[in-house]
Amino acid sequence: MYRLLIVDDEEIITEALYEVFNQSMSDELDICKAYSANEALNWLARTRVDIVLTDIRMPGMSGLELMEEIRMFWPRCRVVFLTGYSEFEYAYQAIQRLNVRYLLKTEGYSKVTQTVQEVIQEINTENQMYNLLQQSQEQIDMIKFLEQGEYFRHLLHDSYSTDELQDLLVLEFEGLNIDLDAKVPVVLVLGHLSYPFEVAYVERSEMFSLTRAIWNSFMVDQINCVTLVDKHGDLLWLLQTSEQTDEKFSNHLIRYLEGTLELIQQACLESLSVSISFTISGSACGWSEIAKQYDRLRQLQKMKIGDGISLIQIDRNEKTNISNFNEGYRLGPKMEVLSAHLDAGRSDNFFTCFNEVTQQSLRNGDLVQRSVETYYSIALMLLSHINRYNLQHSIGDYSKLMRFDEHMSIKEAFQYLQLLAERMFKHKSLDERDRSTMIIEKICRFIQEHLSEDLSLVRLAELYYFNPSYLSRFFKQEHGIKLSEYIDESRARKAKELLCNGDLKVRDVALLVGYEAAHSFTRFFKKATGMTPQEYRDSIIVEC
């Protein structure tokens, strides 16, 4: 899903365009709006924007000045200017630039939506796989990829002091034609492809090559990077901004990567039918620290992959309160409780306690050693019961029980223990509600309690640590309707309740359900109920 940002200092124009696109293209676009260039800059710093539809003349900062700022944040972003006849010469400067269009304000909404659809088609065409691969360059890149990959795999697992490493890297980078600066910190991105286990090695290699090609097509000239496949079969990128890059873009690099990786995920899914999860350094690190940073990314990845979600997670390198973990969840007493429930056949109580222990471990995401300890504590308890009750031949294969490293992720390892316990109870399903349903319930509850606030897809995604595009698909999949439709229904229902209160003005009701402009609220309410707010209030009085 692409993101459209509408910018105009005239509120009525912004609201009208927002409503037009929300009605006609909400399946294709996540639509955001701003009433000034400064507000638009906040959006640009906050999330990826693919298309900006903006007035060319605005107080404070013009559309052309805003365009230059857009280039700093999102170089691939398209800009469509709205202009009047008298501003044509001014607009002429804009249409000389790459990825820029202009429209006359008098051309109407249909022309605006048509233009945006054309821009979307241009983006889609540019992203097609047949434009990504050129055979001759691919062969050269493959040789370079293999040589550099072997070198960096060696670098990740050998330690050097900072002084000896820098001098060594300068010489070796030059000899291997590595487009990175040995004197400048580097950002790491770890990518994990999820494909069926039956996929053959040759097919996996081809997927790696195509994924790299997709990656390269999205990376802009401001970024230099090297790609390798690590010893675990995951893709690892090492990135720096180029010497010519503006400082503003360099400071924005992590946010830029987060937004761009979302598009790469979408392209991999559409072109290869493969999902990919990314784990990113929260900041650049020195070359002597890359082995440690790489290990942290692997730990974070191991904590999260296996959720069935194409994640983009950033290593914030925040310290976890170990003492809270120790004080709140001592494993010994918990294992005794689990063992007692297992002995007594109390499956409901067992799995309630099991979930408490494992979820607490998963919440301490950077303490992988704690999760490993939890895993083996539960595994030993289960093994003890298997031997005590001679269950070796009645619960199926349990050969991985004491082999933690054979599990792809920590979550998968806990799921394995859960499955084994279910077999021991001869119980096929848990009473615990599915995690995804719980998340959707939390989002719905938040919406109901904050109807007067910003409920944009971007904000909800930030609050619940989703990618905006995934949250949109995920909500519809789990709840049956689009997120925007659910918000509209909730606001309409709340508005009806508030309109029953004769002391509240229509303007007050509008504000309480998230509409700053009364006329926008009136249009929304009439569309939802067939009546204006006042007509609805009058009908209630008549019924009484």
* Strands, E assignment, 266-339: 275-281, 312-315
Given a cut of 60, whether residue 308 has pLDDT beyond it is no
Domains of the chain (ranges; CATH) run 2-127 (3.40.50.2300), 133-315 (3.30.70.270), 322-425 (no CATH), 435-543 (1.10.10.60)
Using one digit for the tens of pLDDT, what is the confidence trace for 240-255? 998 888 888 888 889 8
7 - beta bridge partners? Answer: 34, 54
What is the pLDDT at residue 544? 47
Using one digit for the tens of pLDDT, what is the confidence trace for 82-94? 887 555 566 566 5
Average pLDDT of span 431-453: 78
Residues near 159 by beta carbon (within 8 Å), at least 6 away in sequence: 291
Give the separation between CA 382 and CA 413, rounded to whole angstroms: 14
How remote is the C-alpha of 291 from its chain's centroid? 25
Pick the closest to residue 379 from 415, 333, 330 (CA basis): 415
Residues near 97 by beta carbon (within 8 Å), at least 6 away in sequence: 67, 79
Using one digit for the tens of pLDDT, what is the confidence trace for 354-364? 998 888 877 65
What is the pLDDT at residue 17? 94
What is the pLDDT at residue 104? 83
Considering only CA atoms, give the Rg of the chain. 27
Give the separation between CA 173 and CA 179, rounded to whole angstroms: 8
Specify which of 136-140, 471-475, 525-529 reaches the highest per-range mean pLDDT.
525-529
What is the pLDDT at residue 363? 67
Q: Is the Cβ–Cβ distance between 294 and 188 less than 8 Å?
A: yes
Given a cut of 50, whether residue 147 has pLDDT beyond it is yes
What is the pLDDT at residue 35? 94
**Sheet of strand 2-7: strand arrangement:** 29-34, 2-7, 51-55, 78-83, 100-104
29 - beta bridge partners? Answer: 2
DSSP string, 209-236: HHHHHHHHHH--TTEEEEEEE-TTS-EE
How remote is the C-alpha of 515 from its chain's centroid? 28
Q: DSSP letter at 76?
A: T
What is the pLDDT at residue 316? 75
Average pLDDT of span 143-172: 74
What is the pLDDT at residue 249? 87
Query: What proportion of the chain, given as a percentage, has pLDDT over 90?
Result: 31
Q: Is the Cβ–Cβ distance between 100 and 90 less than 8 Å?
A: no
Q: DSSP letter at 401?
A: T
What is the pLDDT at residue 427? 40
Query: What proportion of the chain, given as a percentage, has pLDDT over 70?
Result: 83
Give the separation between CA 381 and CA 389, rounded to whole angstroms: 12
104 - beta bridge partners? Answer: 83
Which two three-digit tokens encode residue 27? 């399946």
Plot region of 87 (φ>0 → left; ψ -120 to 50 → alpha; else → beta): alpha
Using one digit for the tens of pLDDT, what is the confidence trace for 202-247? 777 788 888 888 898 888 788 999 888 888 888 999 999 988 888 8
The whole-chain average pLDDT of the chain stands at: 82
Given a cut of 70, whether residue 470 has pLDDT beyond it is yes
Q: Would you place residue 430 in the very low, low, confident or very high pLDDT band (cuts 50, 70, 90)?
A: very low
Give the separation between CA 171 and CA 174, rounded to whole angstroms: 5
Residue type, position 544, single letter: C
Name which of 23-32, 82-91, 161-170, 445-454 the model is least confident about.
82-91
Q: Is the Cβ–Cβ distance between 255 and 45 less than 8 Å?
A: yes
What is the pLDDT at residue 433? 44
Three-class SS of residue 505? coil
In sequence order, which ranges of 389-501 are alpha helices (DSSP H)? 410-425, 435-449, 457-463, 468-479, 483-499
Using one digit for the tens of pLDDT, what is the confidence trace for 392-418? 777 888 888 988 877 877 888 899 999
Average pLDDT of span 119-142: 65
What is the pLDDT at residue 529? 92
Name which of 20-24, 143-147, 256-260 the model is least confident about.
143-147
Pick the closest to residue 65 from 56, 73, 74 (CA basis): 56
pLDDT: is 449 or 160 the higher one?
449
Name which of 88-92, 294-298, 393-397, 443-447 the model is least confident about.
88-92
**Sheet of strand 187-194: strand arrangement:** 223-229, 235-241, 187-194, 275-281, 312-315
Length of the chain: 544
Using one digit for the tens of pLDDT, what is the confidence trace for 184-196? 999 999 998 887 6
Which two three-digit tokens encode residue 203? 């097919």
Residues near 445 by beta carbon (within 8 Å), at least 6 away in sequence: none
Given a cut of 50, whether residue 148 has pLDDT beyond it is yes
